[in-house]
Chain A
Amino acid sequence: MKGLSQIGIFKRIGLKLTIVVSLTSLVIIGVYSYFNISSQNDVLLAEVERHANQLSETVKNSTRYSMLFNERDQIQETIMTIGKDPTIYDVRILNKEGMIIYSRKQDEIGQMLDKKAESCYACHAENKPLEKLPMKDRTRIFKLHPDSTRIMGIVNPIYNEKSCWQAECHAHSADATVLGVLDVSISLEPIDRQLKKNQIRVLILAVVSVIALGLIIGLFVKKWIDKPVKELVKATNEVALGNLNYTITNLGNDELGYLGQSFNKMISKLEETHLQLMQSDKMASLGRLAAGVAHEINNPLTGVLTYSSFLLKRTKDNPQMQEDLNVIVRETMRSREIIKGLLDFARQSAPKKYQVDINDIIKRAISVVNNQLKYSNINLSTKFNEQLPKVTADANQIQQVCLNLLLNAIDAIGPKGGTIEIITNLISLPPKGNTQIKSAVCPKNHSFIYKEFKIGGLPSLQLKIKSNGIEGFINLDPVYGSNRHFFGINLSKNKSINLTCPTCDVSLIDKNEKCPKCNGPVYKLIIPNQGYLLGCASFNDNWQKWEFIDRGGDRKFVEIKIKDDGCGIAQENIPKLFEPFFSTKGQKGTGLGLAIVWGIIDNHNGTINVDSEVGKGTTFSIKLPLA
């Protein structure tokens, strides 16, 4: 068998669920961060661009007068001063030919720039230079070489103005449009640093949230799934090992809790069927055994019986030998009867059960006695519940039961005539008062079932009782919840009482339990395979508890009532009614009819009760369980 621990770690539901949820949150965080960071980037760049434009205009304006008066040193000085700001990478002014005439970096001055260079690209991308450059096209972001920081450059063309060509220096003619370009470059390093910081923050957020999610989900999976599943697996393993008494304790009220409850229900059903199966299996093997034994023994017995009976015939003149041979013949015949009994028992104890309609069976039984009813002037009325569900039963045996009871009723009514009423009904009964305790044992496995003393026609449970220094027996009612106990000694109810096993004298008082009604001591009997029977041991009240049976809830029965207004049964005869060979009919009866009835009903797990009053009539009620 494969235990839970043998399931690979990656195959466990908890981990799978954690991985799936983590991946999902990772994707969500990733997408969100991407848009967040890129919009931050855009905002920061726009800010820088605005700043650069301002700067560029500032430079242009502050050098304007110097330019008009052609004060070149002054211009260079201004550019140098502005360019001291660490974020400004470079400030330079190019003339129309592309020569750097002023620059923060003094070594650049005098260099010619190719028209394909970064600063010129905006206007000179097409062959003919642009004269007007719109604002948005003035900026560009570039890297000097792949590893360096990003730089934003802004180009500001210097247009020809009236004051320029009218200036005293006459450096510019009137027909030129653009005189040169102011090129300001700003390092983007602080922004890039900021963005990187944000990226790291997002990464930390993602890692932390994935771990937190994983832990939270793992924790709840453990609480809501792992533990109940472990309990279920443990229960199934217990059942697989043959422990059909195992019940799952409350798993909560979610789907798994419901599964646990239905598991419990299934196991209790399984146990029932298992017991039934075992019983019929036992009967079947007994049948096979009987058949085998009969066949094997009857053959040699044939030899013994034929030869001995033959010898008996041949030795008619030898009385001594006759006597001896007679013993052989007689004893062989006895063996023959024993084996026949064994075969009959094996045959009888396995009723052929299938789904039958009880009403139909009763109608068949009535048709058998119909003429007898007519002769005896008996008026038969039937009240059948036509919606009666089918019952699993042996039709022949149930018919025999009805027939026997009908014939008894006819006999009880006698020749003067009367009425018989047959009623069928579907009833549902609580387990108390309707469940027979068929076996009960002490902790050392000694049975309490005592067939010699019956209560309500059923074998009682005999315990030893000690009270007030007097020892005796008590016979408990074998019907759960019904309290027709028989006390063998006079019980002074307030004295301490001790109940023990009549075989081994082990105490049956459970010291851990108190009677919830009178707070007195409680006896505890083991019901094999069906839990425990608890009861008030002081007998002050009628408290009894058999949890195994209570758990099953109400049970449904088909009830058959056969009522007659015949002579009735004397009260003292009622306990002996179902005993074999008990008959009130003298020579007319065999005393087996009701014993057979009882055997059949018991075999169907049903019950039969009798209610009778001398001179008024008798009612037999049979209850057959639906399932």
Chain B
Amino acid sequence: MKEEFDILIVDDEQVVVDSIKRICEINNFTVDYALEAETAIKKISQAKFKLIICDIMMPVMDGFQFINELRNKNIDLPVIVTSGYSTIENAVRSLYAGALDFIPKPFTFDEITSIIKRCIKYRELTDPATHINNPIVYVPCPAKYYRLGYSCWVNKLLDGTVNIGATDIFIKTIENIKAIEFQEIDTMINQAEPVVKIISEDETINQLYSAISGRIIECNTKLLTDINLLEKDPYFGGWIYRILPSQLEFEMSMLSPCSSDL
């Protein structure tokens, strides 16, 4: 029988490993760690994990190579990428490479807890092993939509603006949504930058990354009165922002078409 852990931490800095390990243990997750990517791959083949948290800048094999290696080996585990070199490019690149989420260093206890919990939930929802008898029930994005990672969708409107919103699976990873906090209209936002806070009953703040850069020209104020709209109609009535994009064509190349999900 293989050993089982919830989380594998891959980071070449002992202090980061210790910090994440401590947080995970407080949240009752079992943890193993590796100080380099090769060891991590070895550990994955020897034990079972639900989630990997890995750094980008590591000696020998970096985070992106590590994710590629996992894909090559057909290891379908969700990965959270963290980096001290916390640029937007790195965030976009991580999500495009197939990371489930990105968290810049340094982070607070709450920030990483929220992400870990969501990703564990995502794993539970999508892991084929737990759903053999019980097929997963989430609605994929409509075919003409695009998405950044698994969480944020974007839909081009006819007038040159776009709508963005949260995918059904992202909403389902958050338990008991209580409220939503918008940014102000006219704010310039960047791709892969947290743009909206979705707050659950236990006061956990869940940040959604924007799929596109531009200027916020409208918020879906209906969500303020009826938060359930997010869950009930995530792709149409539950849109979050209308945005005037600034570099649409370039940024579209970093998004995945939703038609590939069907």
Q: Do A and B form a real pair?
A: yes
Q: Is B112 an interface residue (CB 8 A)?
A: yes
Q: Is the CB of B86 within 8 A of A343?
A: yes
8 A Cβ contacts from A345-402 to B: 347, 364, 367-372, 374, 396, 399-400
Known: A368-B244, A396-B250, A590-B187. A310 touches B106 (CB 8 A): no
Q: Is the CB of A296 within 8 A of B186?
A: no
Give B20's nearest chain A residue, CB to CB.
Answer: A306
Q: Is the CB of B84 within 8 A of A309?
A: no
Most chain B CB within a 10 A radius of its CB, from A312, A367, A368: A368
B196 to chain A, nearest CB (A): 18
Most chain B CB within a 10 A radius of its CB, from A296, A370, A372, A589: A372
Q: Is A68 an interface residue (CB 8 A)?
A: no
**Chain A residues positioned under 8 Å from B215 (CB to CB):** 407
Known: A306-B107, A372-B159, A403-B246. A297 touches B84 (CB 8 A): yes
Cα separation A313 to B87 with both chains bound (whole Å): 29
Q: How many A-B residue pairs have CB under 8 A?
A: 113
Known: A303-B18, A306-B107, A371-B159. A588 touches B13 (CB 8 A): no
Q: Which of B15, B158, B249 contacts A302 (CB 8 A)?
A: B15
Q: Which of B19, B160, B249 contacts A371 (CB 8 A)?
A: B160
**Chain A residues positioned under 8 Å from B83 (CB to CB):** 295, 298
Q: Is A307 an interface residue (CB 8 A)?
A: yes
8 A Cβ contacts from A315-356 to B: 329, 332-333, 336, 339-340, 343-344, 347
Q: Is the CB of B159 within 8 A of A370?
A: yes
Q: Is B85 an interface residue (CB 8 A)?
A: yes
Q: Is the CB of B250 within 8 A of A302?
A: no
Cα separation A544 to B188 with both chains bound (whole Å): 43
When each residue 236-249 of chain B gets 1 if its CB lies under 8 Å from chain A and 0 otherwise, what string results?
00000000111111
Give A312's nearest chain B residue, CB to CB.
Answer: B109
Cα separation A333 to B110 with both chains bound (whole Å): 13
When each residue 276-308 of chain A gets 1 if its CB lies under 8 Å from chain B and 0 otherwise, what string results?
000000000000000100111111111111110
Q: Is B253 an interface residue (CB 8 A)?
A: no
B183 to chain A, nearest CB (A): 12
Cα separation A400 to B15 with both chains bound (whole Å): 41
Q: Is B97 an interface residue (CB 8 A)?
A: no
**Chain B residues positioned under 8 Å from A403 (CB to CB):** 246
Known: A294-B85, A295-B57, A306-B22. A590 touches B186 (CB 8 A): yes
**Chain B residues positioned under 8 Å from A371 (CB to CB):** 158-161
**Chain A residues positioned under 8 Å from B22 (CB to CB):** 306-307, 310
A523 to chain B, nearest CB (A): 44
8 A Cβ contacts from B192-218 to A: 215
Q: Is the CB of B109 within 8 A of A313?
A: yes
Q: Is the CB of B85 within 8 A of A295?
A: yes
Tally of contact residues, A, Cβ under 8 A: 45
Q: Is the CB of B86 within 8 A of A299?
A: no
B52 to chain A, nearest CB (A): 17
Q: Is B252 an interface residue (CB 8 A)?
A: no
Q: Is the CB of B106 within 8 A of A301?
A: yes
Give B12's nearest chain A residue, CB to CB.
Answer: A299
Tally of contact residues, B, Cβ under 8 A: 41
Q: Is the CB of B107 within 8 A of A399?
A: no
**Chain B residues positioned under 8 Å from A347 (CB to CB):** 87-89
**Chain B residues positioned under 8 Å from A312 (CB to CB):** 109
Q: Is B23 an interface residue (CB 8 A)?
A: yes
B146 to chain A, nearest CB (A): 17
Known: A400-B246, A590-B187. A296 touches B19 (CB 8 A): no
A339 to chain B, nearest CB (A): 8
Q: Is A592 an interface residue (CB 8 A)?
A: yes
Q: Which of B105, B109, B247 contacts A301 (CB 8 A)?
A: B105
Q: Is the CB of B19 within 8 A of A306?
A: yes
Q: Is the CB of A343 within 8 A of B87?
A: yes
**Chain A residues positioned under 8 Å from B18 (CB to CB):** 303
Q: Is B16 an interface residue (CB 8 A)?
A: yes
**Chain A residues positioned under 8 Å from B88 (CB to CB):** 347
Known: A297-B84, A590-B186, A590-B188. A306 touches B106 (CB 8 A): yes
Q: Is the CB of B107 within 8 A of A302?
A: yes
Q: Is the CB of A589 within 8 A of B16?
A: no
Give A339's nearest chain B residue, CB to CB.
Answer: B86
**Chain B residues positioned under 8 Å from A372 (CB to CB):** 159-160, 244
Q: Is the CB of B108 within 8 A of A329?
A: yes
**Chain A residues positioned under 8 Å from B60 (CB to CB):** none
Cα separation A624 to B35 with both chains bound (whole Å): 50
A533 to chain B, nearest CB (A): 38
A7 to chain B, nearest CB (A): 54
8 A Cβ contacts from B43-81 to A: 57
When each residue 4-31 of chain B gets 1 if its CB lies under 8 Å from chain A and 0 otherwise, what string results?
0000000001011011101100100000
B216 to chain A, nearest CB (A): 11
Known: A309-B110, A368-B244. A300 touches B15 (CB 8 A): yes
Known: A371-B158, A399-B246, A590-B187. A307 touches B19 (CB 8 A): yes
Cα separation A33 to B77 with both chains bound (whole Å): 104
Q: Which of B187, B188, B244, B247 contacts A396 (CB 8 A)?
A: B247
A285 to chain B, nearest CB (A): 16
Cα separation A344 to B89 with both chains bound (whole Å): 10
Q: Is the CB of B105 within 8 A of A298?
A: yes
**Chain A residues positioned under 8 Å from B23 (CB to CB):** 306, 310
Give A292's nearest chain B residue, CB to CB.
Answer: B85
Cα separation A310 to B106 with both chains bound (whole Å): 13
When each residue 581-611 of chain A gets 1 if its CB lies under 8 Å from chain B and 0 otherwise, what string results?
0000000111010000000000000000000
Q: Which of B13, B160, B246, B247 contacts A299 (CB 8 A)?
A: B13
**Chain A residues positioned under 8 Å from B249 (CB to CB):** 364
Q: Is the CB of B85 within 8 A of A367?
A: no
Q: Is the CB of B160 within 8 A of A294?
A: no
**Chain B residues positioned under 8 Å from A590 (CB to CB):** 186-188
Interface residues of B (CB under 8 A from A): 13, 15-16, 18-20, 22-23, 26, 57, 83-89, 104-110, 112, 158-161, 185-188, 215, 244-250
Closest 5 CB pairs of A and B: A371-B159, A298-B84, A301-B106, A306-B19, A309-B108
A-B contact pairs, 9 of them (CB 8 A): A302-B16, A302-B106, A305-B108, A306-B19, A306-B107, A333-B108, A336-B106, A400-B247, A407-B215
In the complex, besides A302-B16, A302-B107, A306-B107, 12 extra interface pairs with C-beta distance below 8 angstroms are A295-B83, A302-B105, A306-B19, A306-B22, A306-B112, A309-B109, A312-B109, A340-B86, A340-B104, A367-B160, A372-B244, A407-B215
Interface residues of A (CB under 8 A from B): 291, 294-307, 309-310, 312-313, 329, 332-333, 336, 339-340, 343-344, 347, 364, 367-372, 374, 396, 399-400, 403, 407, 588-590, 592
